[in-house]
Structure 1
């Protein structure tokens, strides 16, 4: 689970890598409204620091967020004091209401370790949709598209600090092991920490079957803003 060290530099680092949460939310908002013009409520599952949710809150009449990491949720709470936020596991949560749209973005579903876990998460999210509602999920890489041994490096700065990030990703069966090292330079000195992320390489067919079995037949799209694609499912 992501801790305070990562939450502290998360947006700075990914913004330096070109991530634009507001632009992505606008694209998804358009996609939802094209298919469901009256959509007015949205749940963001694995909302992280609330960067997408902040933009969604300006696009929909009612928004809520769910996040497992207490450190990430703390950031989101500070950013969105008027938005209901919940700490919970995407595989098994019950918010007691349904939404016009549920989204799960930035490959968060890939952190689930088994096919059963992924199917449980899809079913739980689907249960939070109104009839005709939309479920939008951004997956992790499919097995045939993952680059074993991939290395990435980034340098990000703001007025208080400079952060270096380097990652190395390998494949172990159906699992991606991504070791990520961060070095932060600031007025008080230099510190560093390492994250090891394990993500599962589910197939496109496994995702589609999970959506169908949850009563939400899906289509797989390839919008320009995400190299990993996007599933859009509608609850029957």
Structure 2
């Protein structure tokens, strides 16, 4: 995923207010773990959250996608960034805060991988530390066969991207069609995104299994809800 769109990622998601999300996250951290000094952002993407969080915490980022990390390294040159799979990684340190934001957890696709990913997150969280996960859509709220279109309209970049929401087993499938225009020309391509659909119970059980007392915010940082809690 994002192998073809990494250079356009920030433009595609220009509607997301990362600064506001990070301000909200900082308030939550101050409420739940006020002594927190360091933070791990799992599935950090292009580093847009890290751009703001790095001024408040000693941050580390991790992502599977080398193309996205290349953008993040330019944006946050002083933040250590690791290329690794969130279902199977081992860093040399643990953290006061571990986050997985913007529904990135959905990309692990299966419940088995959800548990593996949460286990890795939990293993890198200090006792008394805060875990934050923004979930993907739950099965009952997923709209099958919904047609969606989005646009980017910048002076030197025009993008139309369109897809139909599909269901394959217990995953949401988006075969996204992109039409990209720059001063160098116009191109088109397709990129497939497959994300796991899990219930509230499945999320809670996975998080509780790593010793985190789960709380849930129905809105969260981006309107998709947020699971959070302190590790015993």
TM class, shorter-length: over 0.9
**Cα pair 2:25 2:221 within 8 Å, conserved:** no
CA displacement 1:179-227 (0-9 Å, x = unmatched): 2111111112110111111111011101100111111121111236423
1:112 is the counterpart of 2:108: yes
List structure 1 runs of 4+ shifted beyond 4 angstroms: none
- 2: CA distance, partners of 1:38 / 1:85: 23
Residues 224 and 93 from structure 1, CA distance in 2 versus in 1: closer, same or farther, beyond 3 angstroms? Answer: closer
**Cα pair 1:106 1:139 within 8 Å, conserved:** yes
- Determine helix, strand or coil for the equivalent of 2:52: helix
1:196 is the counterpart of 2:192: yes
Partner of 1:27: 24
CA RMSD in angstroms comes to: 1.2
Q: Where does structure 2 lack aligned partners over 5 or more consecutive residues?
A: none
Report deviation, 1:29.
Answer: 1.2
CA displacement 1:68-120 (0-9 Å, x = unmatched): 00000100011111110000011111111111100001111111122111001
- 1: CA distance, partners of 2:173 / 2:219: 26
Partner of 1:2: 2
Report deviation, 1:174.
Answer: 0.9
Partner of 2:81: 85
- 2: CA distance, partners of 1:229 / 1:96: 31
1:159 is the counterpart of 2:159: no
The correspondence of residues 1-236 of structure 1 with structure 2, limited to 5 A, is 1-3=1-3, 5-15=4-14, 18-60=15-57, 62-223=58-219, 225-236=221-232
**Cα pair 1:44 1:53 within 8 Å, conserved:** yes
**Cα pair 1:219 1:231 within 8 Å, conserved:** yes
Between Structure 1 and Structure 2, how many residues are aligned? Answer: 232
- Determine helix, strand or coil for the equivalent of 2:77: coil
Q: Where does structure 1 lack aligned partners over 5 or more consecutive residues?
A: none
- 2: CA distance, partners of 1:188 / 1:130: 49
**Cα pair 1:98 1:129 within 8 Å, conserved:** yes
- 2: CA distance, partners of 1:155 / 1:113: 27
- 2: CA distance, partners of 1:178 / 1:89: 21
- Determine helix, strand or coil for the equivalent of 2:102: coil
